[in-house]
Structure 1
Amino acid sequence: MSTDHQQYSTENQRDAIRDYAKRRHIEIVRSYADDGKSGLRIDGREALQQLIQDVQSGSADFKLVLVYDISRWGRFQDADESAYYEYVCRRAGINVVYCAEQFENDGSVSATIIKNVKRAMAGEYSRELSTKVFAGQCRLIELGFRQGGPAGYGLRRMLVNQVGESKGELARGEHKSHQTDRVILVPGPPREIRVVNQMFRWLIEAGLAESDIATKLNALDIRTDFGRAWTRGTVHEVLTNEKYIGNNVYNRRSFKLKRIHVSNAPEMWIRKEAAFESIVPHEVFAAAQEIILARARRYSNDELLEQLRTLYMRRGFLSGLIINETDGMPSSSVYAQRFGSLVRAYQAVGFMPDRDYRYIEINRYLRRMHPQVVAETQERIIQLGAEVVRHKATDLLTIDGEFTLSIVLARCHVPVAGQYRWKVRFDTSLFPDITVLVRLDYENRAALDYYVLPRLDFYASKLSLTDKNAIELDSYRFDSLEYLYSLTERVPFRRAA
């Protein structure tokens, strides 16, 4: 199931399957359920993948697979995909029974025709729903409401009710709780607003490049809204985003039906001007855009493609983030404007983005981030008077020779049915006394919170988290590592018995 608010909740399916089995004297020996998972792709559906693996490996201890109805295999855009999974079961001698369908899955011509029609209908349902949802989102944008994503440096998200009355500011990671509530952008702290305007002045008055502006901000120890250092790409995002002059822009990128991410041409963008309070004067923003575009006009189309081709040959794949973070490269927005979209620019240099490669960049960033987090934790514990030994191969920390500490980073996965997920696998061979699970924010750029997990209570090899978890798990959650540091701090006794 993809959401809880529908007839296809796993509990309803389970009850229907149980009743079906009881009437026919079938013993249910195993259940496979993908809670909160989209049926558009098999990616991320661990239960379905496990079912297929059990069937193909011959380890299945059952002779029937009971499915609620045909659409529960998935609402695949290719109707043959769900047919394939049923065929895999039949080939292994395991029959498939649909408990809520009005026909017997007996291989007859009529059953085959009905199944094919219903598989196509399942995919069509997703396409129609996608169109309706997109139309609704565009309508909300035109009404001036924010649709997803972080506010950005210098801005904050404000929750309002259906008549526009403020209900309070949303902190990072918080979401609306009522269907009729909406979100708008409001100015952030005065200090951040001053920094944003200073960035525009450095560009316009001092003529600084975006990388130079990032260097100055880092030298002043100013961090982004995610608490990390500024880069050319993050500076460019501030200098080119219309939300700083109050415009609400949507559909610059799309990810419909769980297919590839696409950068849309400007004429496809949905825009509502003056939707929010501006924190940058319009004339200043317009002057900045002229400078940025003028710098880009130095390159012909051939020159732009040559730089992109060289980057592709060096990195092996392309994305907007890679382009923006590469010194000397025009920004990704330049390529999108010049060639209509990033995808068209990719295709012109021979790169065909048949899938989302962001996870490669994220994993590379995590590999750089992990030793930094370990080093910072080690240094902080040492400052508190403890002796820390760091194992070079595993980064395992031994505190005062008394207990061991392992630090694990968990990246945030793309939301399914509106729910973010963090999946982590622990290295059980280390056997640390305490595992610190650092959960990254939605952009996978900074720490969102921390879970301090003692081995006595947590010994599983993997863990899956959402925004809201059971109290048994969230009781170990902390906004910072101060609690951990308090555990390592040495406390002198005045006397001993």
Structure 2
Amino acid sequence: MDKFAEAGKPPQGRRRVRAAQYLRMSTDGQTYSIQNQRDAIRSYADVMGYDIVATYEDPGRSGLHIEGRPGLKKLLFDVEHGLVDFETVVIYDVSRWGRFQNIDESASYEYRCQMAGVRIEFCAEQFGNDGTVGSDVLKAIKRSMAAEYSRSLSQKVFMGQVRVAGMGFHVGGLQGLGLRRLMIDQFGRPKVILARNEHKSLQSDRVIIVPGPPEEVATVRLIFRLFVGSRKTETEIARYLNDRGVANDFGRPWKCGSVRRVLTNEKYIGNNVWNRRCTKLKSKVVYNPPDQWVRADNAFEPIVSRRLFEKAQQIVKSLYLRMSDDEMLAALRNLHNRHGKLSHAIIKAAPECPSGWRYRSRFGSVLDAYRLIGCLPPRQGHFIDLKKRLEVIRYRVMEDLQDAIKKVGGHVSCDPDTELIRINDEFTVVIAIARCRVSHNAYPRWSSKAARETAADIFVLIRMHPGDLAIRDYLIAPMHELAEISGNFHVNNGMKLDAFLFQSLDPLVALAERAFVGSAT
């Protein structure tokens, strides 16, 4: 504000300009709080003679990408579709616009506004965004500095995590069935067992892994005994546990992959292993080679003997020999040539071919592997693309719901592993999506396995219109109301379920809304 301090009042003879303000804060600290930005922009607008007529906000949002920033998306949409009645957008500084790692991305969003006749101004920068050479050079430098700040901060945080993990403390990730996170103070004294979605609040506190409930510990030991002693396969172990009503650590039925996660988790012998995979600056997940893992052996109390665990690893390695992508595809191609077709049963019965799980983990899905060897029928290829498109719609609905709840004062969080949405720490919601299938008598129907498998309190099913291009409605129902449904939802489910059909997720937002109640006089 130094460059305007001498003025103190709007320039004489200039018409007042209608302007909008864009506010963003991640976790940068109080300097960049939403209120501080708002105050600075208001002072700037008073000096310049601007009337702030619209506000776009992204509180608690990272500036690395435009994804997850509904405020900036709405600003661009409104500007490009002629839905605004302002000619300037005022932002605190370049970093609030974004810390995009590619500065051309930052410039592209500003350019889109300029092409629609809306200027971008930064009230706390020491240059006017007027298109002069000096202004453009300084702005490019500021964009680079904003990007470098995120890179530098990310590296510092990563090095701190490496040091803490090397000391044997739990840094992040799932602990696993039969284990719990214990928060301790700086002197090693226990404080409290952390529940899921709970985190330590003091920087001096640390988290270690301790044995969990005895029944979960017994389940883990049973899995190892069945695998090593009885030589049962992972599929057989999963079926054994499910038949006895034993749930995994997410409260879901066991599958082959969840059994394997138990068998290969070194935390069960007390080893702390971190940095198996990483995602820095919102980039894609990268699986690191073993020499980059951070290890601290004997950091926790073991619940499985080291001898038993090592025997399990030998069996796992013999079952899943390391093959390159080309070798895996060649084995699949030879299997197809020999049988003339491919199926899960054919792959499972071929000892020279990796399991379907290995193809899914390496190529995304078994059908994607089929496509790579040129034996995927067009109909199956269509359903792969359809599934991906529906997942995009589902994630957008989940994001919009969380934004709407925050706007009405509710608290919402989403577990990235289970995708359960927790609202006000009172109830959980799971959102599924179903494509529309039309029966032989022309009645639409929808199906969802999630209606039977989820452990949420409320189940939401996004039902698509025929053609699967637009959303038809939302089924929002308590889980106990779906007990009689075998899996298919028809266009007319009867009065009991039709009462839970809505055109939007407003009922959930209304449940989350919090109203201020004044004190009694």
TM-score, shorter chain, exceeding 0.5: yes
How do 1:190-339 and structure 2 match up within 5 A? 190-297=214-321, 302-306=326-330, 328-329=355-356, 331=358
Q: Which moved more, 1:227-236 or 1:326-335?
A: 326-335
Answer yes or no: is the 8 Å Cα contact 1:391–1:397 preserved in 2.
Answer: no
Structure 1 counterpart of 2:95, from 68, 71, 96: 71
Structure 2 counterpart of 1:366, from 432, 438, 450: 432
Q: TM-score, normalised by structure 2?
A: 0.66
Residue in 2 that maps onto 1:392: 490
Answer yes or no: is the 8 Å Cα contact 1:397–1:405 preserved in 2.
Answer: no
Using the alignment, how far apart are the partners of 1:131 and 1:70 within structure 2?
A: 22
Answer yes or no: is the 8 Å Cα contact 1:307–1:329 preserved in 2.
Answer: no
Using the alignment, how far apart are the partners of 1:471 and 1:310 within structure 2?
A: 61
Provide Cα deviations, 1:303-350, integer angstroms capped at 9, x if missing partner.
Answer: 434467899xx99xxxxxxxxxx99336489969xxxxx9xx99xx69
Answer yes or no: is the 8 Å Cα contact 1:296–1:334 preserved in 2.
Answer: no
Q: Does 1:170 align with 2:170?
A: no
> CA 1:251–1:35 in structure 2 vs 1: closer, same or farther (change >3 Å)?
same
Using the alignment, how far apart are the partners of 1:298 and 1:89 within structure 2?
A: 51
Specify the code of the residue in structure 1 equivalent to 2:356: M
Answer yes or no: is the 8 Å Cα contact 2:320–2:354 preserved in 1.
Answer: no
Structure 1 counterpart of 2:480, from 355, 373, 377: 377
Using the alignment, how far apart are the partners of 1:184 and 1:472 within structure 2?
A: 39
Q: Does 1:23 align with 2:89?
A: no
Residue in 1 that maps onto 2:503: 427
Answer yes or no: is the 8 Å Cα contact 1:67–1:97 preserved in 2.
Answer: yes
1:72 offset after TM fit, Å? 1.4
Residue in 1 that maps onto 2:376: none
Using the alignment, how far apart are the partners of 2:115 and 2:334 within structure 1?
A: 48
Structure 2 counterpart of 1:96, from 112, 115, 120: 120
Using the alignment, how far apart are the partners of 1:99 and 1:54 within structure 2?
A: 22
1:266 offset after TM fit, Å? 1.1
Identity, in percent, stands at: 45
Provide Cα deviations, 1:427-481, integer angstroms capped at 9, x if missing partner.
Answer: 33x99xxx5x5xxxxxxxxxxxxxxx7xxx56xxxxxxxxxx87549xxxxxxxx
What's the secondary structure of 2:496's corresponding residue?
A: strand
1:298 offset after TM fit, Å? 8.8
Residue in 2 that maps onto 1:13: 37
Answer yes or no: is the 8 Å Cα contact 1:17–1:99 preserved in 2.
Answer: yes
What's the secondary structure of 1:398's corresponding residue?
A: helix
What's the secondary structure of 2:107's corresponding residue?
A: helix
What's the secondary structure of 1:139's corresponding residue?
A: helix
Q: Which moved more, 1:297-306 or 1:269-278?
A: 297-306
Answer yes or no: is the 8 Å Cα contact 1:144–1:272 preserved in 2.
Answer: yes
Provide Cα deviations, 1:236-278, integer angstroms capped at 9, x if missing partner.
Answer: 0000011111111111111111111111111111111111111
1:89 offset after TM fit, Å? 1.8
Specify the code of the residue in structure 1 equivalent to 2:480: T
> CA 1:106–1:361 in structure 2 vs 1: closer, same or farther (change >3 Å)?
closer
How do 1:106-145 and structure 2 match up within 5 A? 106-145=130-169
> CA 1:309–1:84 in structure 2 vs 1: closer, same or farther (change >3 Å)?
farther
Using the alignment, how far apart are the partners of 2:83 and 2:292 within structure 1?
A: 51
> CA 1:396–1:6 in structure 2 vs 1: closer, same or farther (change >3 Å)?
farther
Residue in 1 that maps onto 2:499: 404
1:150 offset after TM fit, Å? 3.1
> CA 1:118–1:300 in structure 2 vs 1: closer, same or farther (change >3 Å)?
closer
1:398 offset after TM fit, Å? 2.9
Specify the code of the residue in structure 2 equivalent to 1:371: A
Using the alignment, how far apart are the partners of 1:245 and 1:139 within structure 2?
A: 21
In the comparison of the two structures, how many residue pairs are matched? Answer: 386
Any stretches of 5+ residues in structure 1 without a counterpart?
316-325, 337-341, 351-356, 383-389, 407-425, 438-452, 459-468, 474-497
Answer yes or no: is the 8 Å Cα contact 2:181–2:193 preserved in 1.
Answer: yes
Using the alignment, how far apart are the partners of 2:171 and 2:332 within structure 1?
A: 31
Q: Does 1:184 align with 2:235?
A: no
Any stretches of 5+ residues in structure 2 without a counterpart?
1-24, 336-340, 343-352, 374-387, 396-430, 434-447, 453-458, 460-476, 517-521
Using the alignment, how far apart are the partners of 2:321 and 2:283 within structure 1?
A: 33
Using the alignment, how far apart are the partners of 1:70 and 1:128 within structure 2?
A: 17
1:139 offset after TM fit, Å? 0.9
What's the secondary structure of 2:299's corresponding residue?
A: coil
Larger RCO: Structure 1 or Structure 2 (Cα < 8 Å, ≥ 6 residues apart)?
1
> CA 1:470–1:64 in structure 2 vs 1: closer, same or farther (change >3 Å)?
same
Using the alignment, how far apart are the partners of 2:324 and 2:76 within structure 1?
A: 52
1:299 offset after TM fit, Å? 6.4
CA RMSD of aligned residues (A): 3.8
> CA 1:361–1:327 in structure 2 vs 1: closer, same or farther (change >3 Å)?
farther
1:206 offset after TM fit, Å? 1.1
Answer yes or no: is the 8 Å Cα contact 1:150–1:172 preserved in 2.
Answer: no
Provide Cα deviations, 1:213-248, integer angstroms capped at 9, x if missing partner.
Answer: 111111111101111100000000000011111111
Specify the code of the residue in structure 1 equivalent to 2:311: A
Using the alignment, how far apart are the partners of 1:308 and 1:128 within structure 2?
A: 44
Specify the code of the residue in structure 2 equivalent to 1:76: F
> CA 1:7–1:72 in structure 2 vs 1: closer, same or farther (change >3 Å)?
same
> CA 1:206–1:333 in structure 2 vs 1: closer, same or farther (change >3 Å)?
farther
Answer yes or no: is the 8 Å Cα contact 1:40–1:77 preserved in 2.
Answer: yes
Answer yes or no: is the 8 Å Cα contact 1:296–1:330 preserved in 2.
Answer: no
> CA 1:22–1:270 in structure 2 vs 1: closer, same or farther (change >3 Å)?
same
